[in-house]
Amino acid sequence: MYFKVLITIFLSLNLYANTLAVIVSQKSNINTISEKELSRIFLSKTKSFPNGQKSITIELNNEKYQSIFYKKISNKNLKQLKKYWLKMIFTGLAMPPKKVDTINELLIFIQTNPNAISYMPIEYTNETTKIIMEIK
Amino acid sequence: MKLILKFLAFLIINFTLLNAAQITDSFRFDAYGNINTIHGERNYDELRLSGGFQGRYKVNDNISITSQIHIKEGKNSKGKPSNSLEDYDTELKWLYLDYDFENDITFRIGAFQFPVFKASQTGDIEYTYTWTNAPLRSYGVFGAADFNGAEILKKFSYKDFDFLAQLSLGESSTQLGSNEGSIEGNIDSLVGLTLKTYHESFLLNIGYIQANANLYLHRLPFLNKSLQKINQSVDLNMIAIESEIYLDEFTLKSGLIKTNLSNIFTEDLNYYSSIEYNYKDITPYFLYSKEIAYLKRKEADIITEAGKAYKERFSLGLRYELSDNIALKFSYTHEDSKSKINNLRKFEGSDNIFMGTMNFVF
């Protein structure tokens, strides 16, 4: 019985740890977004939200989160993503999202930039961020 | 021995000093390198080393400056390809300023490569494509493949399709040959329109460029007239199409450039087609390309055909991803060339070429 409970708790914690929240600043007008729109923004096919508001992408320097996120929104693995960015960078058509090393840096950037959009494990979000989508 | 030492120095410099990185919040640095070994049946062996850097400085959320410098082998005093450090050539490929407006509109001013073909824009960064070589030797018109001027870019989407429309305005210059007797051209009022379409299962780029050129002939010095204008207002135009189709593990790529210089000289038709199979880190491919030049002559306002020259290539190759930023490629190419000018001069030949390359990016 105890074993089953422990397993259930472990599984739900693990599931929770792999859930990413797509976030914007609390000051942002954006409340929701589709996967397609998210893909276009993070692959730099557009620099605007669907309402015309300018978008600034930022992400954690973390391959695990990037892998989950890009697989979901663009069906690309990290290798394919790298090739995609190389072509974009060297043809001058787009630049990859700005990268930061810590959750804290990411939260500060989101808090101070109403146009910023990012993703992070849902448990690290706080009152300064607005969750507009969950990715499991 | 000297060559091996240079090769090792090239590798050490690249792998130790260079690192792609967001150096600061505002500055991004990228670098690339190519090592090519070529063996042809017509009794030649070559080792070519080349590389380059790209920097992008973001002034603010709207303005950025991008520059790309390519470094390649030059020619020695005898006019032969040389890997000696003193002979290396440096070429500025890109230098432009971007201003981003609202609604995905970008205004760009500076020096660029011709748009449309990915290989014309990233040809020196061999890591970015599957083959050992870019499929066509030229992606421009009359030897010109870059221009100085301004561009307006607009990104938009419709359903599952993403588009990029590009309007280019500017001028360019060209030089065919490097000695006396060579032809120089000043290309003015260049106007280009490009539409790039992206979809999950394909990519399609269509472009059109037209311009006007003044051509000069470098005469031999003893003629006491070193630069002679040989034609005024030569209209030139170029139509280009590039496509990629993704079918599960297979990718089909093809491209076509048709260029024309009205009044004089040549009309070119160049095209290629390739199929590749993507299996994990290995990508075997087959590539076919043909470059045809129709030579023309103008006499008393009548244009007549003066001959035809073509080069046809079949390549079988393999790309292997050694790591995240290093690719190894091997290819075998059979090349046939033929030219016939005014029934007087004829040339026919073929060659079998083996290539091994290592491409890396940072």
Least confident of B182-191, B203-212, B313-322: B182-191
Segment 2-61 of chain A within 8 Å of chain B by CB: 36, 40, 45-48, 52, 54, 56
pLDDT of B19 higher than 70: no
Q: What is the pLDDT of residue B305?
A: 76
**H or E stretch at B57:** strand B44-58
Decide if B146 contacts B124 (C-beta within 8 A): no
Question: What's the pLDDT at B4?
Answer: 57
pLDDT class of B109 with cuts at 50, 70, 90? very high
User: A64-78, B93-107, B133-147, B153-167: lowest mean pLDDT where?
Assistant: B133-147
- Residue A66 covered by a domain: yes
Region of poorest pLDDT, from A88-97, B159-168, B197-206, B291-300: B291-300
The answer to whether the Cβ–Cβ distance between B122 and A47 falls below 8 Å is no
Task: State whether residue A90 sits within 8 Å of chain B by CB.
Answer: yes
- Answer yes or no: do B122 and A91 touch at CB < 8 A: yes
| Residue A64 is assigned to a structural domain of this protein | yes
Does position A22 have pLDDT exceeding 80, yes or no?
yes
Between B270 and A1, residue with greater pLDDT: B270
Q: In 3-state terms, what secondary structure has residue B244? A: strand
Give B313-357 pLDDT, tens digit per residue.
999 999 999 988 899 999 999 999 988 877 666 788 899 999 999
- pTM here is 0.83
Q: Of B107-111, B145-149, B322-326, where does the model show the most confidence?
A: B107-111
* Structural domain contains residue A104: yes
CATH of the domain at B100: 2.40.160.10
pLDDT at B227 > cutoff 60 = no
Whether B101 shows a pLDDT value over 90: the answer reads no
Q: What are phi and psi of B354, to 5 degrees?
A: -110, 135
Query: Domain span at residue A54?
Result: 20-135
**CB proximity list for B80: less than 8 A, separation 6 or greater:** none
Residue A12 lies in a domain: no
Task: Provide the shortest C-alpha distance from residue B1 to chain A (in Å).
Answer: 34
Of A54, A90, A99, the CB nearest to B102: A54
pLDDT band at residue B21, thresholds of 50, 70 and 90?
low
Please give the tally of structural domains in chain A: 1
pLDDT for res A111: 92
User: Considering only CB atoms, which chain A residues are within 8 Å of B198?
Assistant: 45
Band the pLDDT of A10: cuts 50, 70, 90: very low
d(CA B49, CA B358): 10
Task: Band the pLDDT of A13: cuts 50, 70, 90.
Answer: very low
Q: What's the pLDDT tens digit per position in A98-118?
A: 889 999 999 999 999 999 999
Going by pLDDT thresholds of 50, 70 and 90, the confidence category of residue B13 is low
Q: CB-CB: which of A40, A89, A91 is closest to B118? A: A91
CA B196 to CA B185: how far, in whole Å?
29
A128 vs A123: CA distance, rounded Å: 13
Where does the pLDDT of residue B151 fall: very low under 50, low under 70, confident under 90, or very high at 90 and above?
A: very high
Asked if B157's CB is within 8 angstroms of A40's CB, the reply is yes
In a domain, A60, yes or no: yes
Phi, psi of B95 (to 5 degrees): -160, 105
Question: Nearest CB to B128: which of A54, A56, A87?
Answer: A87
Question: What is the extent of the structural domain holding B338?
Answer: 2-361
Q: In Å, how far from its chain's centre is CA B46?
A: 20
Kindly state the average pLDDT of the residues B76-82.
Answer: 70
Q: Tell me if A89 and B54 make a contact (CB, 8 A cut-off).
A: yes
Q: What is the CATH number of the domain that holds A113?
A: 3.40.190.10
Q: Tell me the CA distances in angstroms from B29 to A80, B62, B122, one per residue in order.
A: 21, 19, 16
Q: Is pLDDT of B223 > 80?
A: no
ipTM of the complex: 0.77
Is the predicted pLDDT of residue B104 greater than 70, yes or no?
A: yes
Answer whether A82 touches B (CB < 8 Å).
yes
A90 to B22: CB separation less than 8 angstroms, yes or no: no
Of B173 and B252, more confident:
B252
Residue A13 lies in a domain: no
Interval A70-74 mean pLDDT: 91
> Token match 């089953």: residue?
A4
CB–CB contact A86 B127 (8 Å): yes
What's the pLDDT score for residue B218?
66
Q: Which of A46, A48, A81, A91 to mutate to test the interface with B (most CBs of B within 10 A)?
A: A91
Cα–Cα distances (Å) from B28 to A82, B95, B301, in that order, read 15, 15, 54
Q: What is the mean pLDDT of residues B294-317?
A: 82
Q: Is B103 in CB contact (< 8 Å) with chain A? A: yes
Residue A6 lies in a domain: no
Count of domains forming chain B = 1
